Structure 1
Amino acid sequence: MSLDSKAPAYTLVFDPSTNGESYSVSDFQKSLEKGSDNEKISTMKAILATMLEGNPLPELLMHIIRFVMPSKDKRLKKLLYFYWEIVPKLDQEGKLRHEMILVCNAIQHDLQHPNEYIRGNTLRFLTKLRESELLEQMVPSVLQCLQYRHAYVRKYAILAVLSIYNVSEHLLPDAKDIINTFLVAETDPICKRNAFLALSQLDREKALEYLDANIANIDGVDPLLQIAFVEFIRSDATQTPLLKSQYVDLLLELLTSATADEVIFETALALTVLTSNASALITTATKLIDLAVKVSDNNVKLIVLDRIQDINTSNPGALEELTLDLLRILNSEDLDVRSKALDIAMDLVTSRNAEDVVQLLKKEIQTTVSNSANDKSLEYRELLIKTIRGIAIRFSEMSANVVSLLLDLVSELNSTAASGIISFVKEVMEKYPQLRQELLNHLLNSLVNIKSAKAYRGALWVIGEYALTDNEIQNCWKHIRSNVGEVPILQAERKKLNKTNDESNEGEEQKHKQAGPVILPDGTYATESAFDSVKDTSYKNQDEDDNETLPIRRFVLGGDFYTASILASTIIKLVLRFEKQGSNVSITNALKAEALLILVSIIRVGESSIVKKRIDEDSSERLMTAIGILLDEVNPHETPAEKELLELAFLDATKNSFKSHLAISKRDKKRIVSKTLKKNTEPIEKAVMFRQFINADSNVVQKDSIEEDLELATNGDSAALKRRTMTSSLKKIVPLTGFSDPVYAEACITNNQFDVVLDVLLVNQTKETLKNLHVQFATLGDLKIIDNPPKTNVIPHGFHRITITVKVSSADTGVIFGNIIYDGGHGEDARYVILNDVHIDIMDYIKPARTDDDTFRTMWNAFEWENKISVKSALPTLHTYLNELVKGTNMGILTPTEALGEEDSRFLSCNLYARSSFGEDALANLCIERNPTTNEVVGYVRIRSKGQGLALSLGDRVALIAKQNNNARVTRV
């Protein structure tokens, strides 16, 4: 069903019946006859709500004319005009109902009422009236209202003239002259604005003449009229390209002189549609930036930033010189505004302004350091660091300075930000080999200040992969050796504990010796306060303070043996590379011996009781493997093949994997950029339009993007509407009762963005009239019934159709249930028919999405609800199960295709991500393998979300996938 944008938009009325009460026609009639004005007001509200739900109630028209229309209550009169909007005014033959003559007389009296607000309300009603027979009698009264003294009446009268002319031109053949005369003589700004809008729709030439007459004094025109001028210029310029250059100059002049924010915004939008000239776009973007800085509403800031982004997207490189001006918006306290501004600035950065942008962002980081206790400051600092990283990756000349800047801040950052900096260092070292030596020295100087174990593990990986020369390897080894501290660690720590105990015992003895009164040199007793007694802390000697600053020793004593296993891999890489280069054999042997001592001491201390947490089995196995490799290196009988395989595993494999990861991310970025360019570029074979060769009466019409957006918002996506065929609607029909029930019911379910519409068909299968039949619905989950249909009578074998709207507030499993109730015969109790449950498909609200790895890990750690589902499927391959999982859950795969392995692989692990229409995030991790004995796909799917409902709903979908694929199918009888 297509929508008509010209159809009247009826006024929405709030339904006061919170408990879903429904009334019959006789109840309404009695209340209108005998009720007071207050009772009539509540009755009219219930009538309006019932009619808006689809029941026209034609029996009430005469009762409302008799008992409501004579009332002088202003509230009742307002509700009465709401009623005239939606009441059926034509009979079954399409002719005007006789009762409407009485209504027409009442409307004429209101158009001549001494109260200006009643006149204005009546004129506003006429703009929604589409029956020419009714409007014909109103024309004289409407024309009189054009001369009324109060502007409230005149502003609606001019719109009523336009509406009457649009309905039927013969009712007001001289409407153009009337509007033009009214516009010239009018002084009120709102009335002039309405008159100009009406004139621009009916007579372009007259509107152009009025615009030309006011061009010289356009600065002094009221902002409402200025906006009307801008809208006329935008629409007229797309229809007549010959005047476009003059219109652009006029809009630029208006943009420069305008002071009202709404005029600036509308003028800037019009300019972005009409021109692609670089200087005009720079002026437009500058005004938009000033507007975003000036306004206080964060939503307005985001809207303005979206428009700036649209300008940059459609005209790449045009706003390059405004990069620093755009960063003035960072003064806002809202994190979303800052993030949007930084994203746009990243697209505008070039090699000419990259250094200035980095310096400005550096100052912003320094301001966040002073407010480090604030959570928003920490998030903002991470955004700034991410932006600086992106700039340094794009421009190699900035990399060295940026790395030194970020490494200086690494001690003040949390784990996520610090590990992000180390990841950035890894990427820079791989992309720019000429900077490796300098960056490695910076990294070694900053490692002592790293407090995050995750960041330190990344730094150890960098040391193991990019320390290539003998001097670099020895410098890295000195750092590792100094940060381990005194070895063996276990003996050193026990010695320290014994020393601490001895000092504490000496302190206790000293306290006992000094117990008692103290005699001063002058012979008096000394007094001692509780505040003067200071606890002895002499056991914190200098050695322990030094150990607290040694990262590796601190991690080991704290029970972080995963970092120790990474250290073991780094040591193996350094030893193998140093030995491969054929350097001094004595130094090589010394490195191996010292490495063995470090690794063995870590295992010993991990098995002791002085650490906070004993060493785990995986870390112990990796440390023992490293020790075995080092001992095997000492073995003179080691074959060259074994040595080559060892070097391949430790020196080549991990770096090649990192190179492929960078290549994949680079390819994805290029794909995104090319897609954006393809959207905004024009084909080579497109015809060139010369403005000088276009005639004044040319039919060349350009597209107006703003009008296209408005049409899409009002009429919807035409392509999507075409896809809604009858076949697709039939697939959504759900039976609510059985064929043997007295009332057969079925529902066609339509999912909109935030609601579900149930179009229910009721069939009376009995030979009796079912009286006071109504359907009651209730819900489970985050669903809410918006309206309940009223009672009705259904004739034998008759049909009745109702519509139920259900509001959906989250992507949670929802159930709609209910029953049909109707009166029994001759004193019998009411009869019930129980309806089948309707389950809402959450897949209509879940869409696949993309995010980076850092954001995924952050959300994975932050979300508290997890649903772990066991997988056991008879599908032929692991990739087949992954495809079924993606199809059944509407989740997007974040893991690159190259990392998923071959089709016949035995193991598969990947991450998935989706977002609901309500902004809910859903994360999933799939770990499956093929059982070699049963040849089945087994493993787990872990789903995490912020709320419990989404995790459970997706878990049900995963279980349904397994159930559908494991069903036995009969292929032959």
Structure 2
Amino acid sequence: MEKTCTLLIHLDKGTPAIANEIKEALDGNDVPAKVDAMTKAIMLLLNGETLPQLFITIVRRNAILAVMSIYKLPQDRAINYLLTHVDRVSDWGELLQMVVLELIHKVCRTNRAEKGKAAANTYCQLLLSQSDNNVKLIVLDRLNDLKSSHRDIMVDLIMDVLSALSSPNLDIRRKTLDIVLDLITPRNINEVALMLKKEVVKTQSGELEKKGEYRQMLIQAIHSCAIKFPEVASTVVHLLMDFLGDSNIASAIVVVFVREIIETNPKLRVSIITTLLDTFYQIRAARVCSCALWIVGEYCLSLSEVESGIATIKQCLGELPFYSVSEEGEGTDASKKTPQANSITVSSRRPAIFPDGVQPSKVEVNKATTQSLLIIVSMLQLGQSPFLPHPIDNDSYDRIVLCIRLLCNTGDDIRKIWLQSCRQSSVKTLSDKQLQETEELKAKAQVSHAQPDDLIDFFHLKSRKGMSQLELEDEVQDDLKHATGEFVNDTDDANKLNRILQLTGFSDPVYAEAYVTVHHYYIVLDITVINRTKETLQNLCLELATMGDLKLVERPQNYTLSPESSKQIKANIKVAVNTVIQDEKEFLEHIIKSTNMKCLTPLSALDDECGFLAANLYAESVFGEDALVNLSVKKQADGKLSGYIRIRSKTQGFALSLGNKITLKQKGSS
């Protein structure tokens, strides 16, 4: 019968003393000593010792070293594992996160493309996850920078960038479209066009009905896509023609896009003409109507198209006469008695197509000419009548009289001008525009930055000998304007006209436009308001809303505008000082400490007893963005401080965040 046998192994465990020796050996650099220490530790663990003081040293540290040794051999597998579990990295321990950073750093150093890909992916994730508009604008700027150095990577992520269109902010949408339009290729044009079409359809919904500016941006983007890639024109042109009757003239500018497409894509001519005639009665804007009439006149080539075009125009004009004088001598507007024609009525009255395709006889031509003359004369009579609030202008009158003369006496030279030269001139204008755009793109691509051997002009190291004080001040101001990107020659009228910003539509009862003037630290809005109605407008208030929580403009005043009169309004943009601090220098030091900015004005040069203080502050964000702050305060009779703080930065987000911080911190302690 077998008996149990016990094997005794002698081990002088010495408890904490041996454990401390093992720990010191494992922490050292002697490899044989480490092996021997690890053997002793295993023997102790097999004999039931817990060794709590050695567990951390043996397992979290050596486990990480083991993982690091493994990933050095199969680096590709480590990268794949990281990409698969990238969402869980934030939950990992600090040591493992350090290993991840080391892996990313190593991969990016050996493969520059991976660095750009990682940056682009991270920016796209931030674009979707962040709700702050300022953060999104900064991310879009970084993506725009990546576009020049890692274009292929950005092309692959074009749909991720397009997802930023879900933001209601127009600046974000505009930046997104600008980036995407430069990344379109034949491989992704269909996806981009489909996405833009979906966004255009969304603008027809009720909640986005007032977003005419966004719709205009989308239409211009689709227009650019169709010009670069004509194969997508057929899929978007008919969708955009639904907006010809839009009351927003900015969106209805799609008619210009239709005019270019019908010339550059002859295969779409028949379908575009058919759609245009069917929707012609919906047009309300004068500019859109004139362009649509030109398209009908130039591109209705077949006999059936010409007759359909004339019938459609007659239906939309209504019955003749447009204006007649009654027996009592009072004028009546006959056109208002005629209901608006619809597309079904227009289609039913279109003449049939001749089966043999021959041209109409001379009698039919004379009949059509007579009808056209009757319509034109009736329009001229209506334009000169006192019934209309605005009589016909001289240019339109001369144009209509010229048409009457041409229809009464047509010669070969005149026919050549009207039937050929006008079309050729339009084609030449279109080709010149495309050539100019191509040249601008080439010039933009060839723009070189400063050469390595260019001289660097340091303003503060210049010699000031022989310069008057006035010349010195002018040079300082010019350098400041160049540095902040605000150098404007106000004497150039053409440049001034280009800087006028339209605030309302041309057809609105009150028209307003603004011109921004930047002088030193002052930003002034010169606003022109025009009353286009026949009535006096009382308590008219122009209110300007700024982004963020800053109150940058003064409280608006009420004005009274007489009929068809105008008013010039000036608005200053500035941040007002609101603080309980009563010492000027103490207030400056409080702003510097609260915002962590640098004071460019020496504190020793500031006089404590003059009651006035002006200083310039400078800040740079972690993203490399610059901001210049001008602080001007003075002490009032009651001891309180008053004045203004002006912030200037090329980046809107940085300026807003800095302004919000100053507004929050400037009050100081009571």
What TM-score do you get using the length of structure 1 for normalisation? Answer: 0.38
**RCO higher in structure (CA 8 A, sep ≥6):** 1
How far 1:266 moved relative to its partner? 14
The answer (yes or no) to whether the contact 1:463–1:476 under 8 Å persists in 2 is yes
How far 1:415 moved relative to its partner? 1.0
- 1:693-708 to structure 2, matched below 5 A, reads none
- Matched with 1:908 is none
- 1:52-451 to structure 2, matched below 5 A, reads 258-259=89-90, 275-277=111-113, 281-371=116-206, 375=210, 377-418=211-252, 420-451=253-284
- Aligned in 2, Cα 1:257/1:348: closer, same or farther, shift over 3 Å? farther
Are residue 546 (structure 1) and residue 339 (structure 2) matched? yes
The answer (yes or no) to whether the contact 1:281–1:319 under 8 Å persists in 2 is no
Are residue 666 (structure 1) and residue 666 (structure 2) matched? no
The answer (yes or no) to whether the contact 2:526–2:570 under 8 Å persists in 1 is no
Structure 1 Cα separation of the partners of residues 106 and 117 of structure 2: 14
Are residue 488 (structure 1) and residue 321 (structure 2) matched? yes
The answer (yes or no) to whether the contact 1:430–1:659 under 8 Å persists in 2 is yes
Structure 1 Cα separation of the partners of residues 241 and 421 of structure 2: 27
Structure 2 Cα separation of the partners of residues 626 and 652 of structure 1: 16
Partner of 2:476, secondary structure, is strand
How far 1:544 moved relative to its partner? 3.6
Give the residue type in structure 2 aligned to 1:299. N
| Structure 2 residues not aligned, in runs of 5+ | 1-60, 69-74, 92-97, 344-357, 528-566, 574-670
The answer (yes or no) to whether the contact 2:155–2:183 under 8 Å persists in 1 is yes
How far 1:427 moved relative to its partner? 0.9
- Matched with 2:477 is 751
Give the residue type in structure 2 aligned to 1:318. I
Partner of 1:722, secondary structure, is coil
Give the residue type in structure 2 aligned to 1:666. Q
How far 1:673 moved relative to its partner? 3.2
Are residue 734 (structure 1) and residue 469 (structure 2) matched? yes
The answer (yes or no) to whether the contact 2:298–2:423 under 8 Å persists in 1 is yes
How far 1:454 moved relative to its partner? 1.3
The answer (yes or no) to whether the contact 1:251–1:267 under 8 Å persists in 2 is no
The answer (yes or no) to whether the contact 1:729–1:748 under 8 Å persists in 2 is no
Are residue 597 (structure 1) and residue 374 (structure 2) matched? yes
Give the residue type in structure 2 aligned to 1:614. P
Are residue 722 (structure 1) and residue 557 (structure 2) matched? no
Structure 2 Cα separation of the partners of residues 304 and 407 of structure 1: 35
Give the residue type in structure 1 aligned to 2:305. E
- Aligned in 2, Cα 1:304/1:549: closer, same or farther, shift over 3 Å? same
Structure 2 Cα separation of the partners of residues 458 and 728 of structure 1: 61
How far 1:390 moved relative to its partner? 1.5
How far 1:350 moved relative to its partner? 2.8
The answer (yes or no) to whether the contact 1:865–1:947 under 8 Å persists in 2 is no
- Aligned in 2, Cα 1:480/1:391: closer, same or farther, shift over 3 Å? same
How far 1:453 moved relative to its partner? 1.4
Partner of 2:469, secondary structure, is strand
Structure 2 Cα separation of the partners of residues 374 and 658 of structure 1: 34
- Aligned in 2, Cα 1:718/1:947: closer, same or farther, shift over 3 Å? farther
The answer (yes or no) to whether the contact 2:238–2:275 under 8 Å persists in 1 is yes
Are residue 455 (structure 1) and residue 181 (structure 2) matched? no
Structure 1 Cα separation of the partners of residues 365 and 181 of structure 2: 47
Are residue 625 (structure 1) and residue 402 (structure 2) matched? yes
Are residue 614 (structure 1) and residue 386 (structure 2) matched? no
CA RMSD of aligned residues (A): 5.5
How far 1:483 moved relative to its partner? 1.4
- Matched with 2:8 is none
Question: Aligned residues: percent identity?
Answer: 24
Partner of 1:319, secondary structure, is helix
How far 1:722 moved relative to its partner? 2.9
Structure 1 Cα separation of the partners of residues 396 and 494 of structure 2: 37
Partner of 1:350, secondary structure, is coil
Structure 2 Cα separation of the partners of residues 486 and 946 of structure 1: 47
- 1:19-30 to structure 2, matched below 5 A, reads none
The answer (yes or no) to whether the contact 1:863–1:946 under 8 Å persists in 2 is no
- 1:769-848 to structure 2, matched below 5 A, reads 843=489
The answer (yes or no) to whether the contact 1:271–1:284 under 8 Å persists in 2 is no
Structure 1 Cα separation of the partners of residues 418 and 520 of structure 2: 43
Structure 1 Cα separation of the partners of residues 491 and 79 of structure 2: 43
Give the residue type in structure 2 aligned to 1:415. I
How far 1:593 moved relative to its partner? 0.7
Partner of 2:389, secondary structure, is coil
The answer (yes or no) to whether the contact 2:522–2:572 under 8 Å persists in 1 is no
Structure 2 Cα separation of the partners of residues 398 and 843 of structure 1: 43
Structure 2 Cα separation of the partners of residues 397 and 860 of structure 1: 34
| Structure 1 residues not aligned, in runs of 5+ | 1-210, 219-243, 501-540, 551-580, 634-642, 681-707, 737-745, 757-807, 812-840, 868-888, 890-913, 924-943, 951-973
- Matched with 1:156 is none
The answer (yes or no) to whether the contact 2:186–2:229 under 8 Å persists in 1 is yes
Structure 1 Cα separation of the partners of residues 220 and 494 of structure 2: 24
Partner of 2:212, secondary structure, is helix
How many corresponding residue pairs?
442
Q: Deviations over 1:884-911 (max 9, x none)?
A: xxxxx9xxxxxxxxxxxxxxxxxxxxxx
